[in-house]
Amino acid sequence: MVESTAPAAGETPEHVSSHQGNTSTHKSPVRGESVVGFASGAVSVAGIDPVAYLHNPSKNKGSSFTVDEREYHGNQLHFLRGYLPAGEPLSLIEKVDLAMTQFHRKVSPIEKYIYLHTIKDTDETLFYAILTRHTADAMPIVYTPTVGQACQEWSTLFHTRPSFHGLYISLRDIGHVKSILKRYPLRDQVKVIVFTDGERILGLGDLGANGMGIPVGKLALYTTCAGIHPKHVSLSHLSFH
């Protein structure tokens, strides 16, 4: 049983609503507080690489970083200076609107699927804000019916970024499953795991490892509709070949 509180009507999940509105609502790292996205607790300041920080989708806010967040990260001065365009930070709502403009310019559902997951690869807060605010438009793309085509084409869509893969466990991993699970990031915070063996994917038959698209879609649905924080979910594909 998973304990989670679904957002009330008209509200967004906690991880999205806490980043709504003007970017001035983001807490400044000058005070030693957690900064961005789905970061859990304060971030260590020792040897933080700004490029790696921006490449982490759970921390990156792109053009929404405030002036203070760009200048200071703990005792690191000018932390993101030069890595982002100058100018006033964009609010989350503004970024959602810009993203949806691009979304509607995509012609096919699979193009929209790839576009949304590209956002998820770079800025998880923005991804879930889009799904929460534009559920009717985005959910048929992230999950059924488009996820069926995504599974059929998974081998050509596969990225090494987080949104496109989970844990792939096969017969070759017998004797090593425990070590695989122990290496999973945030493993101590996982509350929900979605498994698939890829054998019965939406009536499409046995798709093997390509069936990973189903857990990816389901977990996006659980976060958007049930308010389960992304750090509490995991996905796995079991292969018996």
Distance (Å, rounded) from C-alpha 236 to C-alpha 193? Answer: 7
d(CA 12, CA 117): 20
The full set of domain ranges for the chain reads 22-77, 92-238
Using one digit for the tens of pLDDT, what is the confidence trace for 188-197?
Answer: 888 888 888 8
Please pick, among 143, 168, 184, 191, the residue that the annotation labels catalytic: 143
- If you average pLDDT over every residue of the chain, what do you get? 77
Q: Give yes or no: 143 in active site.
A: yes
106 annotated active-site: no
More confident residue, 161 or 122: 122
Among the options 120, 218, 222, 231, which is catalytic?
218
CA–CA separation, 238 vs 240, rounded Å?
7
**Largest separation between any pair of C-alpha atoms in the chain:** 55
Most confident of 13-22, 102-111, 179-188, 199-208: 102-111
What pLDDT was estimated at residue 33?
33
What Cα–Cα distance (Å) separates residue 20 from each residue in 142, 143, 150, 186?
Answer: 22, 25, 30, 25
Q: Are 146 and 110 in contact (CB under 8 A)?
A: yes
**Topology of domain 92-238, CATH:** Rossmann fold (3.40.50)
User: pTM to 2 decimals?
Assistant: 0.73
What is the per-residue pLDDT across 118-158, written as a single tens digit (0 to 9) for each?
999 899 999 999 999 999 999 999 999 999 999 888 888 86
Q: Tell me what the mean pLDDT of segment 90-94 comes to.
A: 95
